[in-house]
Chain A
Amino acid sequence: MSEDFDTQAFEYVSGTLRGAEREEFEQILAENSQARELVAFWEQRLMEFNEQTKEIPPNHSVWPAIEQKLWPSPAEEKAPSWWSGWRYWGIPSAIGAAILVIVLLVTPTSPVFSPAYVAVLTDESGAATLTALTADTGDTLILQWERDYKMVPDEDLQIWAKSKRDGEIRPLVVLEQASDSRIEIDEAQWRLVKDAESLLLTIEEDGGSPIDEPSDRILAKGVCVRLKTDSEKS
């Protein structure tokens, strides 16, 4: 099996795995970490083929075409769905995350904190609502509210993690108040964060969703980004 994967990975990277064979192997890649590691091995090793690649300046039309595809003018945008509609993360989100990271890293009174993952959750209009940050120690979730949210009696907020592995949305933490806080997380919650493609913030009944599924009252969502840890930088 391993040797089959090895040849398939090599042919996938070198480009001779085509058609149905390629599609089948891509399905394997989605589920099998060993196959992904083999592909990564060949991608890195065969990359050296490209060392003498002659650079070719792209046509001047390419960048405007990319911009047009990614950020079409409002008239050309389709009506957003509840999930795909969150597209206006833009600069405010990045700035919010950056500010939080900087504050955490430079505030003298703060304990040493090395962030590992960050997610800036924005509402449907693109306004940053909540920034979530985890320490690389895997035991702390830091929440910073970017705007006020007034809690209603008999309701709690809940943060969910959408898995990049299987796409499932799983409960991460229930919030009884919308205020900046440090929350201790356990190993299971840490695994959810590490596997999270994005985080979702919803309004739920008191105590959180009784069925472990998010309600349709979504306040914000945002992609989860892994930051380099200090040890990786050195």
Chain B
Amino acid sequence: MQANDSQKDLEDLIARCALKDKTALHSLYQSSAPYLNGIIFRIVKNSDTSSEVLQEAFIQIWQNAAAYRADKARPLTWMTSIARYRALDRLEKENRKQQTILDNDEDTCVDQFASATPSPEALVSHNQDNQKLQYCLSQLSDAIRRCIELAYLQGYSREEIAEQQGAKVNTVKSWLHRGAKSLKECLLANSGGLA
């Protein structure tokens, strides 16, 4: 699902959900459930759990639709955040042990952003916001970048990142702190677009 192609449609559907229009929720589900399911699955890594979390996410979307503010967040960002937080809640609830993660799966996900400075072709092919994020990630050290990717994309906790990276938990906390600071500075500095 493209983030920009149906933003207005999604806003309208959310507004109709706020008015308790069941058909709007169904349309919202049909248009965004595969995308949100992909995000949830990447974090919970189990199709049954993913289905349950997706269900919880859409119930929350329905219940919170009246609170959605189009001037505060894009509709897909709002829905994605709900889906991710419910997936993280599920991990927390189940006090996830380090599950068996297929190396292939992990590499596929993380490697989307694991390369160093993006190629000129890649910069051209992605939208501007994506370019900025990739550029700013490429300015971070490998350890910090991977730490952020494992957290956001895979739902890793600090402890799991520490174990995966062979580092101490306090080191991971420091990486995240420094990563947030550097990333924000870079994103804001490039808010007018990359040269």
Contacts and interface: CB of A to CB of B under 8 A. Distances in A.
B37 to A, nearest CB: 5
A227 B15 contact: yes
A48 B133 contact: yes
A61 B51 contact: yes
B176 A18 contact: no
B168 interface: no
Interface stretch (A66-74, A171-179, A184-192, A207-215): A66-74
Interface of B: 1, 3, 11, 15-16, 18-22, 25-26, 29, 33-35, 37-39, 41-43, 47, 50-51, 54-55, 58-59, 62, 66-67, 69-74, 76-77, 80-81, 84, 88, 92, 112-113, 126-127, 129-130, 132-134, 148-149, 151-153, 155-158, 161, 172, 176-177, 179-181, 183-184, 187
**What secondary structure prevails in chain B residues at the interface with A?**
helix
Contacts of A19: 92
B158 to A, nearest CB: 5
B19 A53 contact: no
Contacts of B69: 226
B59 A56 contact: no
B106 to A, nearest CB: 14
27 contacts: A7-B176, A10-B176, A10-B183, A45-B129, A45-B133, A46-B133, A47-B77, A50-B39, A51-B127, A51-B130, A54-B38, A55-B34, A56-B37, A56-B41, A57-B33, A57-B34, A62-B33, A62-B55, A89-B19, A91-B22, A93-B20, A94-B20, A223-B19, A224-B66, A225-B18, A225-B19, A232-B70
Contacts of A136: none
Interface of A: 3, 6-7, 10-11, 13-16, 18-19, 22, 40-41, 43-59, 61-63, 65-66, 69-71, 89-91, 93-94, 97-98, 120, 164, 197-198, 223-228, 232
B59 A44 contact: no
A14 B133 contact: no
Most buried by B among A18, A62, A70, A228: A62
B155 A15 contact: yes
Most buried by B among A13, A58, A89: A58
A51 B176 contact: no
A58 B77 contact: no
A66 B153 contact: no
B88 A53 contact: no
B126 A55 contact: no
B73 A43 contact: yes
A225 B64 CA distance: 11
The 10 closest A-B CB pairs, nearest first, are A10-B180, A55-B34, A89-B20, A94-B19, A48-B133, A14-B151, A225-B18, A48-B130, A223-B66, A94-B21
A223 B18 contact: yes
A217 B66 CA distance: 25
Contacts of A90: 20-22
Nearest to A118: B19
A22 B89 CA distance: 10
Most buried by A among B11, B76, B132, B133: B133
Most buried by A among B41, B151, B161, B180: B180
Given A7-B180, A15-B43, 10 more contacts: A3-B181, A14-B152, A15-B152, A22-B92, A51-B3, A58-B54, A63-B29, A69-B55, A90-B22, A94-B20
